Structure 1
């Protein structure tokens, strides 16, 4: 299954973390109990019993099953270093922008009578802060993967194919069959 753009955005922000995310099940559970302000809320968020959460906190249980381990890691990363996360997003959205590296099918149509059939291309392109802002805002508002891809396609079309408005102004870019996509801050 190809990488998802939303997951890649999350990994890019996580690369800005200044401290490592807790690794052990006990440390992760303790962190989640603290974040949720109690074992009951943590248990509800993870879909387990309150007693199970308590056993992980005191160290009686040490190895969660695969699904629970993935949920715990996802919930911890979602809440880990919120100020660092916000600062990284703000910097990308105001000054630095992002770099999109993708292997996908690109095609485009231009003026009547001219077309270029879609083909697989590998493109690495820096996108200015306005595109980073749009992607982060859409991700934070719960946009679907397709909506995120549409924003990325607009950005790649503008910066890569139209050279930020200096050529091919009427070019409409199609961005499909994403094989891989990676975002860097």
Structure 2
């Protein structure tokens, strides 16, 4: 996972209507139900099947820190799939997505212009078509670099070129991301 992929996932998770289960036993029981068995959960988490059974029966209550993180991530990835799908659909068709980024932006432009890269902090609402492109690329398994390129292209078209009204022929280079967040 990369910074853009994680940011998109966190934005969609904000649409959850209920919090994920808090205790390790409840999280294990949820995963056992979703994955239809303790063996599948054990394989997904990298623990033994017996360990999973102990958590399900509340014989073990506190997982190690690394297992607790893997367990919470696995539950969060499968939590409320219909709510997640609805939020993605709404962002891709009507509301768009807000991007808050602090990164280095440089330009490939006509000779004689200032095209040196510089650090910028931009918060911008991207129209639905850009959100749809990002979510479609994420669904098809695009690499982190491809997702970064799409986000950079969207920022270039919306922020720097203002939808084609200025800076014709400007190609935005989006590098050195310090911070990136999405919001639906």
Shorter-chain-normalised TM-score: which range?
over 0.9
Q: Tell me how far apart the structure 1 counterparts of residues 33 and 135 of structure 2 sit (CA, whole Å).
A: 27
Per-residue deviation at 1:141? 2.0
> Mean Cα displacement is larger for which, 134-143 or 22-31?
134-143
Per-residue deviation at 1:115? 3.4
Q: Tell me how far apart the structure 2 counterparts of residues 52 and 140 of structure 1 sit (CA, whole Å).
A: 33
Deviations 1:52-106 (A, max 9, x none): 0000000011111122111111111111000000000000000000010000000
In 2, are the aligned partners of 1:98 and 1:129 still within 8 Å (CA)? yes
Which SS does the other structure have where 2:9 is aligned?
Answer: helix
User: What does residue range 1-185 of structure 1 map to in structure 2 within 5 Å?
Assistant: 4-185=3-184
> Mean Cα displacement is larger for which, 117-126 or 67-76?
67-76
Which stretches of structure 1, 4 residues or more, deviate above 4 A after TM superposition?
none
CA RMSD of aligned residues (A): 1.1
Per-residue deviation at 1:116? 1.9
Deviations 1:102-156 (A, max 9, x none): 0000011222332320000000111111111111111122222211111000000
Q: Gaps spanning 5+ residues in structure 1: where?
A: none
Which SS does the other structure have where 1:99 is aligned?
Answer: strand
> Mean Cα displacement is larger for which, 154-163 or 166-175?
166-175
> Mean Cα displacement is larger for which, 111-120 or 24-33?
111-120
> Mean Cα displacement is larger for which, 8-17 or 134-143?
134-143
In 2, are the aligned partners of 1:109 and 1:115 still within 8 Å (CA)? no
TM-score (normalizing by structure 1): 0.96
Q: Gaps spanning 5+ residues in structure 2: where?
A: none
TM-score (normalizing by structure 2): 0.96
